[in-house]
């Protein structure tokens, strides 16, 4: 019996509560990656909706599908790290599990890395790209603010450092793994910051699609975690990231408390009731 060689490409899909998107993701990859020896690794953070069960059901009939179910661990960045380090492929791609990234550009991303780029990034903000799939004005503002901050931090020319859609050699990921902090949701930025020398980035445009099923995970808490990552890098890792995130959440709570209290006072409430209402709103 001839042993099966490892795949050329592992597609890592970090996911939480994405059960409706598991089968469509495999079907989309099957169509997009024709002619490429690939596998998909779903890394599920113990979703209550049966995401891992859906992936394993497909894996029983399709050897290209694998699933890592994580218990007691959560977070997109650490999920990507575990998935990428479990791969024996030459190349690793990372794509969100919500079907908003355009899997049809993965072959072009693979070609770009084979041609000499260190990392190929699917970008919403280069010519031909489109971020119309961002669900709401709030999400658009959060994303825009994060991109501006990340560009100042990244140290390389990149239009979409907040992208969660990229491809690189597995060996490069392995080399950088010990430098990654593994916190938060922006693993691409973590990779760029962790490289001892600037990485050669190739950006490929794609249209960010509207979410077909499930719920967006981008909210204020995600941005607080991202801000914590920014401060952590600025301080050279001297202060624990969890402490920074806790402090930022506390500062945000104080701001909400004061804003709610001022609004209550303007509406005619006395100081005591206004302070109580502000505390409740902040909580």
User: Which token pair is 204?
Assistant: 């490929």
Query: Which ranges of the chain have pLDDT less than 70?
Result: 1-4, 133-156, 184-185, 211-253, 255-257, 260-261, 264, 271, 274-275, 277-283
Which are the contacts of 170, defined by CB distance < 8 A and separation ≥ 6?
10, 84, 87, 88, 89, 90, 91, 92
H/E stretch holding 38 reads: strand 38-44
Question: Check: CATH 3.90.550.10 for 9-213?
Answer: yes
Q: Where are the domains of the chain?
A: 9-213, 241-282
For the chain, first and last CA: distance in Å?
62
pLDDT value at residue 1: 47
pLDDT value at residue 149: 58
pLDDT value at residue 150: 55
* pTM recorded for the entire structure: 0.74
């Amino acid at each position: 019996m001839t042993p099966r060689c490892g795949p050329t490409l592992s597609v890592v899909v970090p996911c939480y509560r994405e059960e409706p998107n598991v089968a469509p993701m495999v079907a989309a990859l099957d169509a997009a990656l024709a002619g490429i020896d690939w596998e998909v690794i779903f890394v599920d953070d113990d979703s209550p909706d049966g995401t891992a069960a859906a992936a394993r059901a497909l894996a029983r009939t399709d050897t290209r599908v694998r699933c890592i179910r994580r218990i007691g661990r959560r977070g997109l960045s650490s999920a990507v790290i575990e998935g990428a380090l479990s791969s024996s492929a030459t190349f690793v791609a990372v794509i969100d599990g919500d079907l908003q990234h355009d899997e049809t550009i993965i072959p072009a991303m693979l070609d770009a890395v084979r041609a000499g780029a260190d990392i190929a990034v699917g970008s919403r903000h280069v010519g031909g790209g489109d971020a119309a799939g961002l669900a709401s004005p709030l999400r658009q503002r959060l994303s825009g603010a994060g991109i501006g901050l990340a560009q100042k931090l990244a140290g390389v020319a990149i239009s979409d450092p907040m992208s969660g859609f990229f491809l690189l050699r597995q060996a490069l990921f392995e080399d950088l793994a010990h430098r990654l902090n593994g916190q938060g949701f922006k693993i691409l930025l973590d990779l760029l910051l962790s490289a001892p020398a600037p990485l050669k980035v190739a950006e490929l445009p794609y249209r960010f699609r509207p979410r077909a099923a499930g719920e967006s995970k981008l909210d204020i808490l995600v941005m607080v975690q991202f801000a914590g990552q920014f401060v952590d890098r600025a301080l050279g890792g001297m202060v624990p990231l969890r402490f920074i995130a806790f402090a930022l959440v506390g500062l945000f709570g104080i701001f909400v408390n004061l804003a709610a209290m001022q609004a209550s006072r303007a509406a005619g409430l006395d100081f005591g009731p206004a302070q109580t209402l502000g505390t409740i709103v902040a909580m």
